């Protein structure tokens, strides 16, 4: 497969990565969803510390996609 690197291709790749994150988060139990998204935020913060604004933006977009699939944790005793 030969993919031309242009804006449309890159946006499609970001959309595909978002779909993967959403699918992963949707399959995890609530506690693991939280851990996964916190680990993703660690990556966002690491990119920020390195001054990599593009990576920071991409990772933040993926975290936001994952949050849309997050379910609330069950209440203890419920």
- Tell me the whole-structure pTM to 2 decimals: 0.83
Q: Flag whether 75 is in a domain.
A: no
The answer to whether 66 touches 21, Cβ cutoff 8 Å, is yes
Residue 47 within any structural domain of the chain = yes
Q: Residue 33: inside a domain, yes or no? A: yes
At 3 the pLDDT is: 84
Domain residues for the domain of 37 are: 28-69
Q: Is residue 23 part of a domain?
A: no
Q: Answer whether residue 8 is part of any domain.
A: no
- 52 within some domain: yes
How confident is the model over 9-33, as a mean pLDDT? 95
Mean pLDDT for the stretch of residues 18-28: 97
Kindly tell me if the per-residue pLDDT of 20 is higher than 90.
yes
Q: Report the number of distinct structural domains present in the chain.
A: 1
Share of the chain above pLDDT 90, in %: 82
Does 50 map to a domain?
yes
Residue with token string 């988060």: 25
What's the whole-number mean pLDDT along residues 2-30?
A: 93
């Amino acid at each position: 497969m030969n993919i031309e690197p242009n804006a449309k291709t890159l946006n499609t790749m970001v959309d595909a990565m978002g779909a993967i994150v959403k699918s992963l988060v949707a399959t995890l139990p609530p506690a693991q969803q939280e851990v996964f998204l916190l680990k993703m935020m660690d990556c966002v913060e690491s990119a920020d510390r390195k001054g990599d604004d593009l990576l920071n933006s991409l990772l933040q977009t993926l975290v936001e996609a994952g949050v849309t699939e997050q379910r609330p944790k069950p209440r203890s005793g419920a």
